[in-house]
A and B are shown apart, each in its own frame.
Chain A
Amino acid sequence: MIELCELAVRFDRTHAVRGVSLEVAADEWVMLIGPNGAGKTSILRALCGLLAFDGQATIDGRDVRSLGRRALARLIAFVPQNPVAPSELTVAEYVLLGRTPHLGYLGVEGRRDRQAVARALERLDLLPFAERGLGSLSGGELQRAVLARALAQEAVVLLLDEPTTSLDLGRQQQVLELVDSLRGDGLTVLSTMHDLTLAGQYADRLVLLDRGTIVAEGAPRDVLSPETLASHYGANVRVVHDDGDVFVLPQRG
């Protein structure tokens, strides 16, 4: 579904991303992990047209650069790490904005758009919140509203940049379960993730980036080894394997 070939992103003269080649199959969930500044977010932003890049990127066989902005937005929904949540809009109004790529420049939503939004709200249990102001939502509810906007876009690819930032442990699990269930509806997910234990539990495949290049790739149990994490994160961790799950535990000393 997503194919990257020798992708490179440059800021002035330094490379944020270099020679990244990656394939994500339909309905797969791949997580990009790596230390700060490894280039995880830049890859997502390049894919959805927010950053210029060298190399090749295709979605469903279509070249990302040859697609217009609107056509691209119908294929890819992007949820940034800190979405702007204008407190002056209601949840319904906010999720309706997700229909923008399906409307003409000065168009107004029709019945099909409202139905798509209703489906997205229902899917994320947000119907009772439809008329509430965004400013009155809790962190978890807000993240669901942002996901609902992405769903309303009816894209085939969902890009999530650190979807669990600033959520408590329970909300983190809720959001990740939700995203996991969305894949059943035919959504391919590429996300970045800081929490390695959660990353190992939810991703089909992990891609470890360091200084803009891929340094390890594969099943969580293969990528998350103490040696790899020590050399790329500079972290001292213990990795516990239990019943197929991988737990990454930081330790002192």
Chain B
Amino acid sequence: MAVDSIRGAEAAVRARGVSRPWRLLAGAFLAGSLLVGLGVGPVGIGATGIVESALSHLPFVHVHSPLSALEEAVLWQIRAPRVVLAAIVGGMLAIAGSAYQGVFRNPLADPYLLGVAAGSGLGATLAIAYGHVGRSGQLLPLASFVGGLTAVAATYVLGRSAGAVRTASSLVLAGVTVTLFLTAIQTFVQQQHTNTLRDVYAWLLGGFSTASWKQVAVAAPYVAVSSLAIVLHRRMLDVLSVGDEEASSLGVDVPRLRLALVVAATAGTAAAVSVSGLIAFVGIIVPHTIRLLVSTSYRAVVPLSFVVGAGFLVLADVLARTIVSPAELPIGVVTAFFGAPFFAVVLRSARTMR
């Protein structure tokens, strides 16, 4: 009898992962965004054309592409790398945002909190100003990647020295300090090299106008490894929500866990920033939208952030290149301009739903 009742009760004991409807919805959103991203542009290509063309490139599938050679080239050499790059950058920024928010138990934490942005920006600026690296140069991503990681390392060392207790807030304070310091250097360098300021400025605003398969290949391995690591830690992020002390009394080595998550999220972010420039807002808006609509447990927030973030940035990029076509808007302008009102609506409706 007692055993039966426990069996029955066991059914009530479950952590909210991602339920099937939300899984399907998020998948459909990403698929739809990719199709829109591939199809919209000066040369319009229909969804069936895209799917059939994609199938024709697969081995053992005998479908003939209905597209002309020009359309094929536009689709696979210009749009596809751009859409794929936007997707992995958006997914990475969003999932890293969810990880930082959990690690620092701070809803406003985002990939730029620890100085990643300032460091990457400075790395790229130095490369352009002193290394004579062009905006589309091969070395630019590397320089910004190194800059971002260096900044985070500085933040971590400073945060550690701030006290024997490595609390979340001492790391955040260290991040702010490092950011301000690096920004000062950045301003100085920019002022000394006004002739190259345009290049730096364009890079800082972010965008995918120079996207290529090569850039995809540069960023993808980092993004894959780091988001996989974060997804595997989703339960640990829930454990961290009870605070350092209680997590520690549950047998968790909190400083090591925090370090592992920060390294994972930062490496991925730095890789994303190095190919796309600075794109704010995605890391905050996407995880919070999921919290408001789906579930507040990291078991759901983490995996959904990647999928939704990917779709979100692809759509933002479509807007960036169509609104003032043939010119392009900086994508950061689009994410903030459309993201902020959208988030306000979600915030409001979630409040009235309760």
Q: Do A and B bind each other?
A: yes
Query: How far is A121 from B9 in the complex, measured between Cα atoms in Å?
Result: 9
Given contacts A92-B14, A96-B15, A122-B5, are A73 and B246 in contact (CB under 8 A)?
no
In the complex the two chains form, is B236's CB within 8 Å of A69's CB? no
A100-129, CB under 8 A of B: which get 1 and which 0? Answer: 110101111101001101110110000100
In the complex the two chains form, is A101's CB within 8 Å of B251's CB? yes
Report B105 CB to chain A, min CB distance, Å.
9
B192 part of interface (Cβ distance < 8 Å): no
Report B241 CB to chain A, min CB distance, Å.
4
A216-236, CB under 8 A of B: which get 1 and which 0? Answer: 000000000000000000000
From the candidates A48, A80, A118, name the one contacting B13 in the complex (CB within 8 A).
A118
For A, the interface residue count at a CB cutoff of 8 angstroms equals: 48
In the complex the two chains form, is B236's CB within 8 Å of A92's CB? no
A58 part of interface (Cβ distance < 8 Å): no
A169 part of interface (Cβ distance < 8 Å): no
Which B residues are in CB contact (< 8 Å) with A83? 242, 246
Query: How far is A108 from B7 in the complex, measured between Cα atoms in Å?
Result: 19
Quick one: closest A residue to B299, CB to CB?
A93
Which B residues are in CB contact (< 8 Å) with A90? 15-16, 297
In the complex the two chains form, is A100's CB within 8 Å of B5's CB? no
Query: How far is A50 from B291 in the complex, measured between Cα atoms in Å?
Result: 32
For B, the interface residue count at a CB cutoff of 8 angstroms equals: 31
B227-241, CB under 8 A of A: which get 1 and which 0? Answer: 000001101101101
Query: How far is A86 from B15 in the complex, measured between Cα atoms in Å?
Result: 14
In the complex the two chains form, is B251's CB within 8 Å of A84's CB? no
Query: How far is A76 from B246 in the complex, measured between Cα atoms in Å?
Result: 12
Which B residues are in CB contact (< 8 Å) with A100? 239, 247, 250-252
In the complex the two chains form, is B12's CB within 8 Å of A130's CB? yes
B41 part of interface (Cβ distance < 8 Å): no
In the complex the two chains form, is A69's CB within 8 Å of B242's CB? no
Which B residues are in CB contact (< 8 Å) with A50? 245, 248-249
Which B residues are in CB contact (< 8 Å) with A98? 250
Quick one: closest B residue to A159, CB to CB?
B249
Quick one: closest A residue to B241, CB to CB?
A86
In the complex the two chains form, is A115's CB within 8 Å of B249's CB? no
B49 part of interface (Cβ distance < 8 Å): no
In the complex the two chains form, is B250's CB within 8 Å of A101's CB? yes
B65 part of interface (Cβ distance < 8 Å): no
Which A residues are in CB contact (< 8 Å) with B7? 115
In the complex the two chains form, is A73's CB within 8 Å of B251's CB? yes
A49 part of interface (Cβ distance < 8 Å): yes
Query: How far is A108 from B231 in the complex, measured between Cα atoms in Å?
Result: 12
Given contacts A84-B243, A88-B296, A89-B297, are A78 and B10 in contact (CB under 8 A)?
no
A97 part of interface (Cβ distance < 8 Å): yes
Report A147 CB to chain B, min CB distance, Å.
14
In the complex the two chains form, is A96's CB within 8 Å of B13's CB? yes
In the complex the two chains form, is A92's CB within 8 Å of B241's CB? no
A204 part of interface (Cβ distance < 8 Å): no
Which A residues are in CB contact (< 8 Å) with B353? none
Given contacts A86-B242, A100-B251, A101-B250, are A93 and B297 in contact (CB under 8 A)?
yes
From the candidates B239, B249, B297, name the one contacting A88 in the complex (CB within 8 A).
B297
In the complex the two chains form, is A92's CB within 8 Å of B12's CB? yes
Query: How far is A139 from B16 in the complex, measured between Cα atoms in Å?
Result: 24
Which A residues are in CB contact (< 8 Å) with B252? 69, 100
Query: How far is A101 from B249 in the complex, measured between Cα atoms in Å?
Result: 9
B1 part of interface (Cβ distance < 8 Å): no
B253 part of interface (Cβ distance < 8 Å): yes
**In the complex, which of the residues B7, B15, B297 has the most CB atoms of chain A within 10 Å of its own CB atom?**
B15
B58 part of interface (Cβ distance < 8 Å): no
A63 part of interface (Cβ distance < 8 Å): no
A168 part of interface (Cβ distance < 8 Å): no
Which B residues are in CB contact (< 8 Å) with A48? 249
Quick one: closest A residue to B6, CB to CB?
A118
Report A241 CB to chain B, min CB distance, Å.
38
In the complex the two chains form, is B12's CB within 8 Å of A73's CB? no
B 136-168 contacts with A by CB, 8 A: none
In the complex the two chains form, is A72's CB within 8 Å of B15's CB? no
Query: How far is A93 from B250 in the complex, measured between Cα atoms in Å?
Result: 15
A70 part of interface (Cβ distance < 8 Å): yes
From the candidates B232, B238, B245, name the one contacting A97 in the complex (CB within 8 A).
B238
B243-270, CB under 8 A of A: which get 1 and which 0? Answer: 1011111111100000000000000000
Report B102 CB to chain A, min CB distance, Å.
10
Report A146 CB to chain B, min CB distance, Å.
9
Which A residues are in CB contact (< 8 Å) with B232? 106
Which B residues are in CB contact (< 8 Å) with A97? 238-239, 242, 250
In the complex the two chains form, is A114's CB within 8 Å of B242's CB? no
Report B17 CB to chain A, min CB distance, Å.
9
Query: How far is A106 from B260 in the complex, measured between Cα atoms in Å?
Result: 12
Which B residues are in CB contact (< 8 Å) with A76? 249
A 134-178 contacts with B by CB, 8 A: 153
A131 part of interface (Cβ distance < 8 Å): yes
* The 3 residue pairs across chains A and B that have the minimum distance between CB atoms: A73-B251, A88-B296, A101-B251
A-B contact pairs, 22 of them (CB 8 A): A49-B248, A68-B251, A69-B248, A70-B251, A71-B251, A74-B251, A78-B246, A83-B246, A88-B297, A90-B15, A92-B12, A92-B15, A93-B16, A96-B15, A97-B242, A100-B252, A106-B233, A106-B236, A114-B10, A115-B10, A121-B12, A122-B6
> Beyond the given A90-B15, A92-B12, could you list 15 further A-B residue pairs with CB under 8 A, ordered by the A residue number?
A69-B248, A71-B251, A76-B249, A77-B249, A84-B246, A85-B242, A89-B296, A92-B13, A93-B297, A97-B238, A100-B251, A100-B252, A108-B235, A109-B15, A127-B12
